[in-house]
Amino acid sequence: MDIIDTNTYPLDQPDSASYSALVALCQTDLAKNGLFNLPEFLRPSALQDTLELVKPVIETQAFVHLRTHNIYFKKTIPGLAPDHPALKLRQTANHTICADQIEDSAITQLYDWPAFASFLADVMQKPGLYPMDDRIAGANVMTYYDGEALNWHFDRSEFTTTLLLQAPSNGGEFEYLRDLRTDDDPNYDGVAALLNGQLETTICPQAAGTLNVFRGVNTAHRVTPVEGDTPRINAVLTYFDAPGRKFTTEEHLGFYGRTTP
C-alpha cells in the first residue's frame, strides 16, 4: 500500500510494536477528545494524484446535495412538537461523488484495503469492521464551494472516517460539541441551546492529507460555510460492524439522487 505513509502509520504490520503503539495512541485520543487525527496519513504524491483524478469528476458528475433539515435528518421525532426549537431547520449544500465514479482512486483503494478496516476495528476494540455492500454510499467525496456547508447533525453510524483532500482558505471548519446527548437522554433543551448559538463548541483544525476518525452519533457537529475560491474536498468512508450493509432507496435518493451504481 504505497498511498499511505506506512513508515509513520504501520497498518501493514499489525504484529509490530509500533502498530500497537499507534493503536494505543489513537484509543487515548478517542477517549479524551471523541476523535483522533493522523496528519499526513495520505502521502503527498497520492494526495496530488487523487485531487487530479477527482476534481474533473466533481466538476462534471457530482450530485448537488441541497436540503433543509433538522439536526436529526428526520422529518419528525416522536414526542417532540414540530415547533420545538430542537427541530430548527438549517440548510446543507455540497457536491457529492461516490466510489463507483472513482474506482481507480486512492480513496477506493483505501476503503477496500482489509488492513485499514482491521486497524479501525483494533482502535475501536471491535472484532471486525466491514465496508458497505453499497458502491454508492460506502465511500464518498464531498465538495463544499463558497457559501456551502454541512449543517448541524448527529451521525447515523457510531463513528465516521474522513480523509481531508483539500482545505479551504477560509471557513469550512469542522466544529463540534461533544456528548450533547446520550443513548438514554436526548437533551432536547441542550440541542435547542446549541442551535441558538448559546453553547460553547470546539473547532478541530485539519490539514489536507489528515485522516480523522470521529464518534458522531451523540456528538453534534457541522462544517461551517466555506468562504472563498478554494473548495473544501473531503472523503468520507463508512464501515459497519457486520458485512452487507446497504442504504435504503429513500436514503440513496436523499443523499445521492440515484439508486444504482
Q: What is the binding site for Fe ion (CB under 5 A)?
A: 155, 216
Residue whose CB is less far from Fe ion, 19 or 255:
255
The number of beta carbons lying within 10 Å of the beta carbon of residue 157 is 15
Residue whose CB is less far from Fe ion, 34 or 216:
216
- Cβ of residue 94: shortest distance to Fe ion, in angstroms? 12
- Cβ of residue 33: shortest distance to Fe ion, in angstroms? 16
Residue whose CB is less far from Fe ion, 3 or 224:
224
- Cβ of residue 151: shortest distance to Fe ion, in angstroms? 10
Residue whose CB is less far from Fe ion, 12 or 155:
155
- Cβ of residue 73: shortest distance to Fe ion, in angstroms? 9
Residue whose CB is less far from Fe ion, 168 or 216:
216
- Cβ of residue 176: shortest distance to Fe ion, in angstroms? 9
